């Protein structure tokens, strides 16, 4: 699975740089856009619009949900890779479950790939 920017959904191959966080990625273009927005509004009071969909119509929301789903898929794939590496290192299902706030059995069922 190719890493995609969590914000704009562009794949790594279509951007100059990609910064990785815990299960999320941001491309250099989105960083530049975020910086421009911060600079433009740095001396103005913060007005958060929560929830974010208040200003969106139904079609705009429908256009957005595939990006949300793609971000979830990307985070899930990243989490699986981390768990697989921990298992390769010999870390127990109990410790992995504890780190995730779930039982050993739940961790095994979710990540082992076995039935």
* Count of structural domains, the chain: 2
Domain encompassing residue 95: 48-115
12, 62: one domain: no
Kindly report the pTM of this predicted structure.
0.70
Residue with tokens 């299960």: 23
Looking at the structure, do residues 68 and 114 belong to the same domain, yes or no?
yes
Q: Is the pLDDT of residue 18 over 90?
A: yes
pLDDT score of 1: 65
59 and 28 in a common domain: no
**End-of-domain residue from the set 32, 47, 62:** 47
**Which of residues 74 and 27 earns the better pLDDT score?**
27
Residues 32 and 67 grouped into a single domain: no
| pLDDT higher than 70, residue 112 | yes
Which tens digits make up the pLDDT trace of 55-93? 889 999 999 899 888 888 888 988 999 999 999 999 999
Q: Are residues 19 and 56 in the same domain?
A: no
CB-based contacts of 77: which residues, under 8 Å, 6+ apart? Answer: 1
Burial class for 68, CB neighbours closer than 10 Å (0-12, 13-18, 19+)? exposed
Token couple for 73: 């898929």
Q: Are residues 40 and 53 in the same domain?
A: no
Taking 3-state DSSP, the helix, strand and coil percentages for the chain, each rounded to the nearest 5, stand at 60, 5, 35
Provide the mean pLDDT of the chain. 90
Is residue 20 domain-shared with residue 61, that is, in the same domain? no
Instruction: Please tell me the distance from the alpha carbon of residue 82 to that of residue 63, in angstroms, as a whole number.
Output: 30
pLDDT the model gives residue 87: 97
- Does the structure show a pLDDT above 90 at 28? yes
Whether residue 13 is found in the same domain as residue 28: yes
Q: Which helix (H) or strand (E) holds 37?
A: helix 28-41
């Amino acid at each position: 699975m190719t890493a995609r920017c969590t914000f704009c959904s562009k794949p790594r191959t279509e951007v100059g740089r990609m910064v990785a966080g815990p299960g999320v990625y941001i491309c250099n273009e989105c960083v530049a856009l975020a910086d421009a927005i911060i600079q433009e509004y740095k001396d103005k009071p913060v007005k958060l619009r929560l929830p974010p969909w208040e200003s969106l119509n139904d079609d705009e929301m429908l256009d957005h949900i595939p990006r949300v789903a793609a971000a979830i898929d990307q985070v899930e794939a990243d989490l699986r890779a981390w768990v697989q590496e921990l298992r390769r290192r010999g870390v127990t299902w109990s410790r992995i479950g504890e780190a995730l706030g779930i039982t050993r059995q739940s961790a095994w069922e979710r990540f082992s790939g076995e039935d």
